[in-house]
Amino acid sequence: MRLLAVILTLLQLLALFSRSWAGVPEDSCKDAGTLAVSVELKPPADVGLAGVKVILDYPEDELKIPGFQNDAKVKERVHLVPQGFMFAPNDTDTELILAVAGTHALPAGTLFTVEFNRCTRDASIRAADFHCKVDQASDEHAKSVDGATCSVNINDKVDEPMTKHEGGAR
């Protein structure tokens, strides 16, 4: 019951969190294609994580997510969150903040993918242009956990191999 209360509080706080509008206007990125990015979670050894808050800093002059904060348009761009887990995205137009929570441990591997609109057709966007940070993490008993990290993978075409960039605190 305590875990559910923590999850709901985290989701409510995330929905209220906002930053000022920044970066390139959304409309300027519509016709330059999309870029798919996946985020992988690496928990500390021998610890199952049931809740995380991940901050994905992205190159806002080159990429956009339609919508702002927790709009439905933002949520539509987040995919592959593990089944059985609740998630709440918040796009600040410079960072995607995503809270994921459930009552059991998250599976290893991809935590989520996000589809960005490209602002230009420039193919020079690399995984290293993204900065991923696990801002908060908790175990199945809602106890805070330190040491979780995340990594970013890019694949703008299904038939191209993904590139990977390890990330921790920024």
Greatest mean pLDDT among 4-18, 83-97, 146-160 lies in: 83-97
Q: In this structure, what CATH number is given to the domain that contains residue 75?
A: 2.60.40
Amino acid identity, residue 23? G
Task: Determine the structural domain holding residue 103 and report its residue range.
Answer: 2-18+28-167
Please give the pLDDT value at position 159: 30
| Structural domain contains residue 36 | yes
| Structural domain contains residue 75 | yes
Are 125 and 10 in contact by the 8 Å Cβ rule? The answer is no
| Structural domain contains residue 23 | no
| Structural domain contains residue 97 | yes
| Structural domain contains residue 83 | yes
Instruction: Return the SS3 of 89.
Output: strand
At 19-31, the pLDDT tens digits run: 334 444 445 566 6
How much is the average pLDDT of 88-104?
92
Total domain count, the chain: 1
CA distance 58 to 160: 21
How much is the average pLDDT of 62-79?
83
| Structural domain contains residue 40 | yes
Please give the pLDDT value at position 126: 87
Which stretches of 84-161 are DSSP H helices? none
Over 80: is that where the pLDDT of 64 sits?
A: yes
Over 80: is that where the pLDDT of 12 sits?
A: no
Higher pLDDT, residue 44 or 14: 44
Q: Quote the percentage of the chain above a pLDDT of 90.
A: 42
Least confident of 6-10, 35-39, 141-145: 6-10
| Structural domain contains residue 52 | yes
Residue that has been written with the tokens 């992205």 in this structure = 58
CA distance 161 to 148: 26
Q: Read off the pTM.
A: 0.75
Please give the pLDDT value at position 74: 86
| Structural domain contains residue 136 | yes
